[in-house]
Amino acid sequence: MIIRKHLIAAVGLGLIGGAAFAADIQPEGPSGLTEQTGATAKRFMVAAANPHATEAGYDILKAGGNAIDAAVAVQMVLNLVEPQSSGIGGGAFLVYWDAATGQLTTYDGRETAPAAAGSDYFLKSDGNRKGFWEAVNGAGSVGVPGTVALLDMAHEAHGSLPWPDLFQPAIRMARDGFEISPRLGGAIARAAERGLPDQKSGSGDYFFNSDGSPKSSGTVLRNPAFADSLETIATGGAKAFYEGEIAESILTALASTPDNSSLMTAADLAGYRAIERAPVCVAYRTYEICGMGPPSSGALTVGQILGMLAQFDMKAVGYSPVAAHLFAEASRLAYADRALYMADDDYVPVPVRGLLDPHYLRARAALIDTGYAMEKAEPGTPPFARKGDLFPDRQPERAGTSHFVIVDAAGNAVSMTTTIETGFGSRLMAGGFLLNNELTDFSFLPEKDGKPIANRVEGGKRPRSSMAPTIVLKDGRPVILIGSPGGSRIIPYVAWALVGMIDWDMDPQQAVDMGHVSNRNGPMDLEEGTPVASWRSALEAKGHTVKVRSMNSGIHAIMIGDGVLSGAADPRREGAVRGD
């Protein structure tokens, strides 16, 4: 298809990145760009952000394991081969379809703030908020990790192979070594400018040579400390992560940066719990778009965008500047609501039903002028909302994270987004893995104009996320699995690709390849080196402020057809899709 050829041509010429990268810093910049042709299979499939991780998941499925079993193996290998993106030192959200029961559920492994943290956590002694990188580098940005607890809970409920077996691929690779990929090598070099070499906790020795230079692509990297941690968890389950030697190593690493100290205690670690939650779904055309609710804003905001676009004939306008305009305007309105209302629902009431109410979404869609862009969208007043009590938080997350999708031979399905937040997280290592900087996803300001911000820091609270692992249902059965990394742009990455598949009949690889369009209630972003970049003049004529820039997603998707699985890996990273 022409769309795909244009993107791949841009990749080959190095047009994605360069000057735009300097203008729009993404902690995980463009690297490892490879042509992707997609794949088909009949029985099972896995798509992940690194070929080693895809292979580990494939081997588990080939050996008779199910989607949850494969998810454990994929995550552990991802932690090893792309440690800057996700791992057991971070958190995750997992959407799961159980084929036997016909039930969809979600698992929340989002990090939590230490119990002692208060709303002034990111304020300096003079009352001003900390700068972003001032807050990131060091222990003060680290939330209590949730990924191990999530996977343990999901495996206990749905796994089939023995838990210890699922760790063996990553343990072998950690001991034998693997070659640093182009993407990881480039990420290490860039992160050197942002405080990566932390000698006290080991990240300096691990990622850098003895002369201080960053280890480059092709260098063999071994991680016996991580292998030891995995063996401990494989033997002792999640409890062995949150108590004992691994927990002690986390607390030791946190004590290494007194200038950005942590309030986390052994009790915070031992008390962490993953949570099974009901999915959040919205109708779009003849489909149900389902995903993770609060503390993620992903399913809500994707749902709002699509719920508003349902009022327009996107098939008729086609893949065009008109479609991009409608998409951007719906996104503005959704992001305005996100900024005001969305946070951890266990601490701040989020009007979930009201935000997705069909009458409310129709009223919001009526605000869209098909001919001209609105300057800035204001939040609406959905049913059950407390609009007057809050002040909006427009602080965006950084573009780290990873996503993978799995369908097994029985029809069980996993869509999982996993993160340590900014590339390389807090820069601190413990037990051979990096610790997250997830607390910087909270609002640094607790209130403004006398009104509290819903996403303010509170002890035990989970920071708002944009992660949007999604499973799309039709006639009560899954037909699409999708998700992406990308910080606060995850939402438009996922929503735009879904429009491509549902309204424009694209296969997953075409939808992933087509070029990104994004609006977070500000400038219109178009992905450079792709067909959408040519729409700039047409969109500026409609009043949009347009920026053409690198947009480093990592979308992985599977479409479930009549006896055929079609999968896609994002060419902007170095992922792979494989099935049988």
- Taking alpha carbons only, the member of 330, 344, 327, 339 closest to residue 293 is 344
Q: Which helix (DSSP H) or strand (DSSP E) does residue 94 occupy?
A: strand 91-98
Q: Provide the total of helices (H) and of strands (E) in the chain, helices listed first.
A: 21, 23
The DSSP string of 147-159 is HHHHHHHHHHHH-
- Taking alpha carbons only, the member of 403, 501, 107, 459 closest to residue 279 is 107
Active site residue 381: no
Helix (H, G, I), strand (E, B) or coil at 413: strand
Q: Where are the beta strands (DSSP E) in 215-315?
A: 220-221, 275-277, 280-284, 287-291
- Taking alpha carbons only, the member of 221, 209, 141 closest to residue 179 is 221
For residue 295, cis peptide bond before it (omega within 30 degrees of 0): yes
Cβ atoms of 365 and 312 within 8 Å: the answer is: yes
Q: Cβ atoms within 10 A of the Cβ of 507, count?
A: 20
Q: Which helix (DSSP H) or strand (DSSP E) does residue 41 occupy?
A: strand 39-41
Q: Which helix (DSSP H) or strand (DSSP E) does residue 308 occupy?
A: helix 298-309
Residue 489: phi and psi, rounded to 5, are -90, 0
Could you tell me if residue 195 is left (phi over 0), alpha (psi between -120 and 50 degrees) or otherwise beta? Answer: left
- List Cβ<8 Å contacts ≥24 apart for 152-158: 152/237, 152/238, 152/274, 153/107, 153/238, 153/274, 153/276, 154/68, 154/71, 154/94, 154/96, 154/107, 155/68, 155/69, 155/72, 157/276, 158/66, 158/67, 158/68, 158/96, 158/98, 158/412
Amino acid (one-letter) located at 441: D
Helix (H, G, I), strand (E, B) or coil at 323: helix
Taking CA atoms, 42 is separated from 38, 64, 409, 563, in Å, by 14, 15, 9, 6
CA-to-CA distance for 320 and 406, rounded, in angstroms? 31
Cβ atoms of 142 and 198 within 8 Å: the answer is: no
Q: Cβ atoms within 10 A of the Cβ of 533, count?
A: 17
Calculate the CA 578 to chain-centre distance. Answer: 21
Amino acid (one-letter) located at 445: L
Length, in residues, of the chain: 580
Strand partners, 548: 526
Strand partners, 518: 525
Strand partners, 565: 41, 560
**DSSP 8-state assignment for residue 354:** H
Catalytic residue among 147, 401, 418, 419: 401
- Taking alpha carbons only, the member of 550, 564, 504 closest to residue 19 is 550
CA angle 280/556/346 to nearest 5° reads 30
Q: Would strands 447-448 and 45-48 be described as parallel, antiparallel, or unpaired?
A: unpaired
Amino acid (one-letter) located at 289: I
Which residues carry out catalysis? 401
